């Protein structure tokens, strides 16, 4: 059984195949009838132990567009609040016949545990685990960058070779940053992290990227600037400069955005702290791809579910087969 636990596990060819398949899936989204029969009869369980808006809805839309049955499980209001373990929750899902489990969990490593425990026979997709990884976010981000920086058709079969991507902010707590660093490096991009020294993870020198403490120096050399959410819920107050100081040094406002090359885009995985890491002016500007990233997330997650569960049939038939 195949799983998607970490962006670091993907080869360049794996990643390009997912991005190309996502482009095929996006064609479905452009049609009046947005559904494919590919996963009819299969069941996808969304198992969310942590809050989510985009990822949960996006996986649900992706599975439904592939005609799978979807079960949404949220830890809040379930027997998890009575102390039920991950193992017993997993066994319950297995008994209900899950073919894929999409899991978000506050503990780094929970999706890996689920995939390797032998408790369930389903494919496991990591939808964000603690501060570890969020691989489908990195894939949808790479999809968005490839479309914007290489081109929708011109990008097919291509990676992000030579593109300069800057990731800014609370790297310490960010599974999005970790997944993006690995995937972007695999796709040939040059990645620079910009963060206050207290929000840079220990061991970052082993990551395949540069680290800078000056946003103003890096902006003119960036093709895409990804602003990270400041994760106050995971924050120890001692780690954090004041909000005002943070915004002044690491926030993206209109003046800073003007230092970026004209073609460069601003990204944000959401949810945004408007006024903290990004001003409303930047968030609402046509250079910011945050909403586009959400739309691209559905196509990307369709591609992931299709490749994990869908077998070898072509996802989308664009030309009718020739008569026999």
Of 6, 46, 55, 289, the one binding ligand CP by CB under 6 A: 55
Which residue, chain included where needed, has tokens 């072509």?
314
Q: Which helix (H) or strand (E) holds 73?
A: strand 69-74
Spatial strand order in the sheet of 100-105:
69-74, 43-48, 100-105, 123-129
**Should residue 106 be labelled a site residue for ligand CP when binding is judged by CB under 6 A?**
no
Known binding residue 76? Answer is no
Question: Do 167 and 218 meet the contact criterion of CB atoms below 8 Å apart?
Answer: no
User: Token digits for 13?
Assistant: 């060819």
Question: Any alpha helices (H) in the chain, and if so which ranges?
Answer: 12-29, 54-65, 86-95, 110-116, 135-149, 175-186, 215-218, 243-250, 254-257, 280-283, 290-309
- Per CB under 6 A, which of residues 260..279 are in contact with ligand CP? 269-271
Considering only the stretches 31-39, 51-59, 111-119, 199-207, report the one whose residues sit in contact with ligand CP under the rule CB under 6 A. Answer: 51-59
Which residue, chain included where needed, has tokens 């995985």?
269
Taking the complex as a whole, the smallest distance from the CB of residue 52 to ligand CP amounts, in Å, to 3
Known binding residue 134? Answer is yes
Taking the complex as a whole, the smallest distance from the CB of residue 173 to ligand CP amounts, in Å, to 13
Known binding residue 231? Answer is no
Q: Of 113 and 268, which has the nearer Cβ to ligand CP?
A: 268
Taking the complex as a whole, the smallest distance from the CB of residue 104 to ligand CP amounts, in Å, to 7
Known binding residue 148? Answer is no
Known binding residue 270? Answer is yes
- Per CB under 6 A, which of residues 123..142 are in contact with ligand CP? 128, 137
Known binding residue 65? Answer is no
Q: Of 36 and 227, which has the nearer Cβ to ligand CP?
A: 227
Q: Are strands 43-48 and 69-74 parallel, antiparallel or unpaired?
A: parallel
Considering only the stretches 26-34, 53-61, 213-221, 277-285, report the one whose residues sit in contact with ligand CP under the rule CB under 6 A. Answer: 53-61
Taking the complex as a whole, the smallest distance from the CB of residue 13 to ligand CP amounts, in Å, to 26
Q: Of 38 and 136, which has the nearer Cβ to ligand CP?
A: 136
Number of residues that bind ligand CP (CB under 6 A): 9
Known binding residue 54? Answer is yes
- Per CB under 6 A, which of residues 17..36 are in contact with ligand CP? none
Report d(CA 126, CA 124) in Å as an integer: 7
Q: Is the dihedral of CA 9, 189, 127, 202 positive or negative?
A: positive
Considering only the stretches 47-55, 157-165, 216-224, 300-308, report the one whose residues sit in contact with ligand CP under the rule CB under 6 A. Answer: 47-55
| Residue partners of 262: CB distance under 8 A and separation at least 6 | none
- How wide is the angle at C-alpha 95 spanned by C-alphas 93 and 96, nearest 5°? 65
Known binding residue 287? Answer is no
From residue 99, give the alpha-carbon distance in Å to each of 10, 102, 141, 233, 306: 22, 10, 26, 33, 12
Q: Is the dihedral of CA 257, 259, 264, 270 positive or negative?
A: negative
Report d(CA 3, CA 88) in Å as an integer: 20
Taking the complex as a whole, the smallest distance from the CB of residue 270 to ligand CP amounts, in Å, to 5
Give binding residues for L-aspartate as ranges: 82, 175, 229
Binding-site residues for carbamoyl phosphate, in ranges, read 54-55, 104, 134, 137, 270-271
What is the contact surface with ligand CP in residues (CB under 6 A)?
Answer: 52-55, 128, 137, 269-271
Residues making up the annotated binding site are 54-55, 82, 104, 134, 137, 175, 229, 270-271
């Amino acid at each position: 059984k195949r799983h998607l636990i970490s962006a670091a596990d993907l080869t360049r060819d794996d990643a390009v195949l997912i991005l190309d398949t996502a482009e095929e899936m996006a064609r479905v989204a452009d049609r009046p009838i947005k559904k494919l029969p590919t996963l009819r009869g299969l069941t996808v369980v969304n198992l969310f132990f942590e809050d989510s808006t985009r990822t949960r809805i996006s996986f649900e839309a992706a599975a439904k567009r592939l005609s799978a049955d979807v079960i949404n499980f949220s830890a809040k209001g379930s027997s998890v609040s009575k102390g039920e373990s991950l193992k017993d929750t997993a066994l319950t899902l297995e008994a209900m016949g899950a073919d894929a489990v999409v899991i978000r969990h506050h503990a780094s490593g929970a999706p890996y545990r689920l995939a390797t425990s032998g408790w369930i026979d389903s494919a496991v997709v990591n939808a964000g685990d603690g501060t570890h990884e969020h691989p489908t976010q990195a894939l949808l981000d790479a999809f968005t960058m490839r479309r914007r920086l290489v081109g929708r058709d011109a990008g097919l079969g291509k990676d992000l070779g030579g593109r300069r991507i800057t990731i800014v902010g609370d790297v310490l707590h960010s599974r999005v940053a970790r997944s993006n660093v690995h995937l972007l490096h695999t796709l040939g991009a040059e990645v620079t992290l910009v963060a206050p020294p207290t929000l840079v993870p220990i061991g970052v020198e082993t990551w395949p990227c540069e680290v800078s403490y000056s946003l103003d120096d890096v902006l003119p050399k960036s093709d895409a600037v990804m602003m990270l959410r400041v994760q106050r819920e995971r924050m120890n107050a001692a780690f954090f400069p004041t909000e005002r100081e943070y915004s002044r040094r690491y926030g993206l406002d209109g003046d800073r955005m003007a230092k970026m090359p004209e073609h460069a885009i601003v990204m944000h995985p959401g949810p945004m702290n408007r006024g903290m890491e990004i001003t409303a002016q930047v968030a609402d500007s046509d250079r910011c791809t945050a909403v586009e990233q959400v739309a691209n997330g559905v196509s990307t997650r369709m591609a992931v579910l299709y490749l994990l569960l869908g077998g070898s049939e072509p996802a989308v038939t664009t030309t009718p087969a020739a008569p026999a």
